[in-house]
Amino acid sequence: MGVRKTIAVIRGDGIGPEIVGEALRVLDTVANCYEHTFVYDDVDMGGVAIDKWGDPLPQEMLEKCLRSDSVLLGAVGGRKWDGVPGDKRPEKGLLRLRAGMGVYSNNRPAKIWKQLADASPLKREIVEKGIDFMIVRELTGGIYFGTHRTEETDGQLCATDVLRYTEREIERIGRIGFETARKRRGRLCSVEKSNVLDSSRLWKKVLHGLAAEYPDVELTDMLVDNCAMQIVKDPSQFDVIVTENMFGDILSDEASMITGSIGMIPSSSLGDGTRGLYEPIHGSAPDIAGLDVANPIGTILSAGMLLRYSFGLDAEADEVERAVERVLDEGYRTADILGDGVGCQKIGCREMGTRIAQAVRDAKG
């Protein structure tokens, strides 16, 4: 029996419309092959919404997202809107969307596709061990959301930023970590700085308190400084990393760097319930907008994550990932992942989407 779901679609700015168009092509193919119905509801956000409505995320657009079963986003922003006042900037739309949807977890896979191993700045022998892990980052608490103060004390300026977490905030992100590990290889590494910080000691205590509820997941602990080293020394050891906001911000950028291909990386942001926000990690790439050269794979894989984490369609999500794998195996590359080009064929955004959709169709026979 197929499912019927509504997806709020935010094409956004720059390359957004091109890459989202290809992700929808793949979703349509999944719907056809598996007898699902996906209804798309277009949402204006970012620069396009500023031009049309004078607001990067009008309330009615946010409400469309809240009525949907899940949200797919391309990217927003561009030089054209650099001069608009702070609260009207395209990125404000994104922050308001995250807050409005109540998403408190950002999840980014770091995976090296064997076909693109040369793009990684890591040594081949490290890459060949296999890199495929997920960073689950707390998104709405910690030091970024604590009080920030600068005052003069004893004749000099003194700045304070407060790092605060409640048990409840830690528990809910911890659960996303355990649930994610459950859907992958069953290993969760909790990353903190419990040798120094009280907030980290509470973090560790809450994570270990949850472990009894997830006997199928193996929980380990790692200090954040060690984790930063291990990500470049032996990333194959990780399956899922769960960590607080600032540590996750830094580690997830480090992790995307080691894969060497920004156009390939999807992400999800989740809260309570199954509705999520799915988007590639890159921006709107105005330098290549409209040229049909953008890599749509990060967005296509985001759509795959949406199928898995919001709709529970694991087989379909696996199929999307396998289709990407097959098209890369056949040697097709967009410009950003072409490398030296030996044995490869350079194709555009549209053809990449079309080939991945075709690979999904072929697999279903």
Under the criterion CB under 6 A, does residue 76 sit at the interface with ligand NAD?
yes
- Beta strands 156-161 and 132-138, pairing class: unpaired
Under the criterion CB under 6 A, does residue 72 sit at the interface with ligand NAD?
no
Under the criterion CB under 6 A, does residue 295 sit at the interface with ligand NAD?
yes
Name the one range near ligand NAD by CB under 6 A: 22-30, 233-241, 249-257, 287-295.
287-295
195/151 Cα distance (integer angstroms):
29
Strands (DSSP E) contained in 24-118 are 37-42, 70-75, 105-111
Q: How many residues bind ligand NAD (CB under 6 A)?
A: 22
Under the criterion CB under 6 A, does residue 211 sit at the interface with ligand NAD?
no
307/302 Cα distance (integer angstroms):
9
217: three-class secondary structure by DSSP: coil
C-beta closer to ligand NAD: residue 33 or 84: 84
x-or-dash pattern for ligand NAD, window 17-36, by CB under 6 A? --x-----------------
C-beta closer to ligand NAD: residue 200 or 259: 259
Taking residue 312's Cβ as centre, other Cβ atoms within 10 Å add up to: 12
Nearest to 41 by CA among 55, 24, 26: 24
Under the criterion CB under 6 A, does residue 206 sit at the interface with ligand NAD?
no
- Give me the least distance between CB of 87 and ligand NAD, in Å please: 15
Residue from 284, 302, 310, 354 that binds ligand NAD (CB under 6 A)?
284
Under the criterion CB under 6 A, does residue 93 sit at the interface with ligand NAD?
no
Residues taking part in catalysis: 144, 193, 225, 249, 253
312/221 Cα distance (integer angstroms):
29
Q: Which residues of 247-270 are buried (b: 16+ CB within 10 A; e: fewer)?
A: bbbebbeebbebbbbbbbbbbbbb
Under the criterion CB under 6 A, does residue 294 sit at the interface with ligand NAD?
yes
C-beta closer to ligand NAD: residue 200 or 261: 261
Residue from 142, 174, 235, 263 that binds ligand NAD (CB under 6 A)?
263
C-beta closer to ligand NAD: residue 78 or 276: 78
- Give me the least distance between CB of 309 and ligand NAD, in Å please: 18
Amino acid type, 234: D
Name the one range near ligand NAD by CB under 6 A: 69-77, 108-116, 168-176, 182-190.
69-77
Under the criterion CB under 6 A, does residue 338 sit at the interface with ligand NAD?
no
Under the criterion CB under 6 A, does residue 288 sit at the interface with ligand NAD?
yes
C-beta closer to ligand NAD: residue 142 or 283: 283
C-beta closer to ligand NAD: residue 70 or 200: 70
| CB-nearest residue to ligand NAD | 283
Nearest to 88 by CA among 75, 100, 76, 106: 76
42: three-class secondary structure by DSSP: strand
Identify whether the C-beta of residue 186 lies closer than 8 Å to the C-beta of residue 154. Answer: no
Under the criterion CB under 6 A, does residue 75 sit at the interface with ligand NAD?
yes
Identify whether the C-beta of residue 72 lies closer than 8 Å to the C-beta of residue 23. Answer: yes
DSSP labels for 284-344? --GGGTTTT----HHHHHHHHHIIIIIT--HHHHHHHHHHHHHHHHTTEE-GGG-TT-TT-
* Phi (first) and psi of residue 252, to 5 degrees: -70, -30
Residue from 56, 174, 283, 353 that binds ligand NAD (CB under 6 A)?
283
Name the one range near ligand NAD by CB under 6 A: 201-209, 246-254, 276-284, 307-315.
276-284
6: three-class secondary structure by DSSP: strand
Under the criterion CB under 6 A, does residue 262 sit at the interface with ligand NAD?
yes
DSSP-derived secondary structure letter, 13: S
Under the criterion CB under 6 A, does residue 285 sit at the interface with ligand NAD?
yes
Taking residue 306's Cβ as centre, other Cβ atoms within 10 Å add up to: 29
Q: Which residues bind ligand NAD (CB under 6 A)?
A: 15, 19, 75-78, 91, 94, 262-263, 279, 282-288, 294-295, 298, 336
